[in-house]
């Protein structure tokens, strides 16, 4: 039994029941600790050598697990993420994949060296795209440890690449009426509803009449992005829109498609309305940003905004809401109302 170093990575190397077992661990201290643990397990007859597995098999097993434990939208994204990962790591033993390999993968993706047909239109991809792929990769190896294929996660300390600040855009006051005037009646109701609820597009599309509690004036979002449900009070504007739609609809969905089934897209109609209104660089998701900004400018605290927007942590809330300059100025000018005789006297003396 021994440990050895190759380049900057330390390995454990030993024989068990006539089979040579060798895998990367990382740092020397980790390798020494791992070897001590193996010696202890062998001594007391409880050692179970790590299972041999190549990346392709781990990916297949991970995808089977994901089908049971993840939403369909997440599965679609991970199928795209899997293509570059498989091209780079395919055929390699997972116990020989190291921290350094993951960092080299990041560099090749960003530099456009690793090109995936049907996935990337451009050779170089953004840091955020690479991060989504590496997040999946790290989770795969975390599951590999849980499933007994690896004794320790070699990628647990791989850092994500720095991403530029998120796009900031919400509907300006002077744009709102122009946008509504340019919308068709169906799109207009949906746009108003989105701004006054802050719901994600998929949450709106999934909303059914059975989710509406008319008596209590509230609606239930049964499956949010973070796999939770939530009850949201309805404003007068939202209640009026839903009451109007309910009088004429025959669909189970609140905002159905033309065939009465679940709506799948609003992109074309919303883009056309923006074009007619002369509004540029506005996306449907920006209505959700506007909802958060409206709450903050109306005096809501961050915890309330966090709950209404369905965020897991307050950091997401801060990123989504954008107080206007007028809102900030109101609080700055409020300082003028504070009477401070000492300060005023000092100003007079200085003059």
Q: Does residue 84 register a pLDDT over 60? A: yes
* Nearest in space to 195 (alpha carbons), one of 252, 235, 243: 235
Percent of the chain with pLDDT over 90: 44
Give kind and range of the element (H or E) at residue 166.
none
The 10s digit of each residue's pLDDT in 209-242 is 999 999 999 999 987 765 678 899 999 999 999 9
Tell me how far apart the alpha carbons of residues 197 and 194 are, in angstroms, rounded to a whole number: 5
Domain ranges within the chain, ordered by starting residue: 2-43, 55-146, 173-330
**Quick one: average pLDDT of 14-40?**
84
> Which range scores top for mean pLDDT: 16-20, 64-68, 219-223, 338-342?
64-68
Which residue blocks in 90-153 are alpha helix, DSSP H?
Answer: 99-111, 127-146
**Quick one: average pLDDT of 82-106?**
91
Contacts for 235 with CB less than 8 Å, ≥ 6 apart: 196
Q: Does residue 92 register a pLDDT over 80? A: yes
Name the class of domain 173-330.
Answer: mainly alpha
Q: What is the pLDDT of residue 223?
A: 72
8: number of CA atoms within 13 Å, CB side? 5
Per the listing, tokens 């009465």 go with: 260
The 10s digit of each residue's pLDDT in 154-211 is 999 999 999 887 777 889 989 999 999 999 988 999 999 999 999 999 999 999 999 9
The larger pLDDT score, comparing residue 155 to residue 347, is at 155
Tell me how far apart the alpha carbons of residues 202 and 76 are, in angstroms, rounded to a whole number: 14
* Nearest in space to 312 (alpha carbons), one of 220, 199, 225: 225
Q: Does residue 348 register a pLDDT over 70? A: no
Q: Does residue 350 register a pLDDT over 60? A: no
Per the listing, tokens 């209404």 go with: 308
Per the listing, tokens 């109007």 go with: 244
């Amino acid at each position: 039994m021994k440990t050895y170093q190759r380049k900057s990575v330390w390995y454990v190397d030993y024989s068990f029941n006539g089979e040579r077992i060798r895998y990367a661990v990382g740092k020397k201290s980790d390798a020494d600790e791992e070897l001590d643990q193996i010696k202890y397990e062998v001594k007391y007859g409880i050692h179970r050598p790590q299972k041999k597995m190549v990346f392709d098999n781990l990916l297949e097993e991970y995808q089977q697990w994901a089908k049971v434990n993840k939403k369909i939208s997440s599965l679609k994204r991970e199928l795209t993420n899997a293509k570059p990962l498989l091209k780079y790591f395919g055929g390699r033993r997972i116990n020989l994949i190291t921290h350094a390999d993951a960092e080299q993968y990041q560099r090749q993706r960003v530099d456009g060296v690793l090109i995936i047909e049907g996935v990337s239109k451009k050779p170089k991809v953004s840091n955020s795209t690479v991060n989504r792929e590496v997040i999946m990769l790290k989770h795969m190896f975390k599951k590999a440890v849980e499933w007994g294929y690896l004794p320790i996660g070699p990628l647990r300390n791989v850092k994500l690449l720095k991403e530029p600040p998120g796009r900031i855009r919400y509907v300006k006051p002077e744009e709102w009426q122009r946008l509504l005037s340019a919308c068709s009646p169906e799109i207009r109701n949906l746009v108003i509803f989105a701004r006054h609820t802050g719901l994600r597009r998929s949450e709106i599309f999934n909303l059914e009449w059975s989710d509406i509690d008319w008596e209590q004036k509230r609606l239930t979002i049964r499956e949010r992005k973070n796999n939770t449900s939530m009850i949201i009070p309805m404003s007068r504007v939202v209640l009026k829109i839903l009451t109007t739609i309910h009088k004429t609809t025959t669909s189970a969905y609140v905002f159905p498609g033309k065939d009465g089934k679940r709506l799948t897209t609003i992109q074309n109609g919303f883009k056309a309305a923006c074009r007619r209104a002369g509004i540029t660089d506005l996306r449907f998701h920006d209505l959700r940003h506007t909802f958060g900004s409206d709450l903050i400018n109306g005096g809501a605290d961050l915890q309330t905004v966090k709950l209404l927007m369905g965020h897991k942590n307050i950091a997401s809330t801060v990123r989504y809401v954008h107080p206007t300059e007028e809102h900030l100025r109101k609080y700055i000018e409020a300082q003028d109302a504070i009477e401070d005789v000492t300060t005023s006297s000092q100003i007079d003396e200085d003059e």
